[in-house]
Amino acid sequence: MDTADSMKGQATAEYLLLVAAGISLLSVSLFALTSIKGAEAQVYAREKARIIAYDVSSIGNEICALGDGNSRSYLVEGAEMECAGNEIRVSVSGASAGSRVSDCEVECGGGYSGEIRIRNSNGKVVIAA
């Protein structure tokens, strides 16, 4: 009977070791997945900022070429814009990208969410909510 009890104890110990190893593997996998998720969110934010900067500068170039009084609308979700001279800097969730309008000075500033107007006002491209 002693041998049978010791065999049960050994089986229980082996089972507990297998469960502990399985939990360890799951926790390592979970950590890896959350790291990937964080990196994916940063890549998404950087790409979104780049696309918005490119789109806004393209519209700005068009409005600049068309002259005073022309305007276009553009839909932006959760972006900050800063402008200096003909440079546009867009930030989304901590990631940023820049672009420039060829021949006109650009005026903007602040956070934008929703439809914005990009218009030519006396040779200056103005971006406003």
Q: What is the pLDDT of residues 19-60, one digit of tens each?
A: 888 888 888 888 877 777 778 888 999 999 999 999 999 999
Task: Report the C-alpha gap between 59 and 65 in whole angstroms.
Answer: 10
Task: Report the C-alpha gap between 50 and 44 in whole angstroms.
Answer: 10
Considering the entire predicted model, what is its pTM?
A: 0.73
The residues facing 100 across adjacent strands are: 87
Other CB atoms within a 10 A radius of the CB of residue 115 amount to 10
- pLDDT of residue 86 exceeding 90, the answer is yes
- Percent over 70 (pLDDT), the chain: 93
Task: Report the C-alpha gap between 81 and 49 in whole angstroms.
Answer: 10
- pLDDT of residue 14 exceeding 90, the answer is no
Radius of gyration of the chain measured on its C-alpha atoms: 28
Task: Report the C-alpha gap between 78 and 31 in whole angstroms.
Answer: 29
CA distances from 111 to 59, 80, 95, 99, 102 (A): 19, 4, 14, 17, 23
Task: Report the C-alpha gap between 16 and 14 in whole angstroms.
Answer: 5
Q: How confident is the model at residue 93 (pLDDT cuts 50, 70, 90)?
A: very high
Q: For strand 105-107 and strand 109-121, is the pairing parallel, antiparallel, or unpaired?
A: unpaired
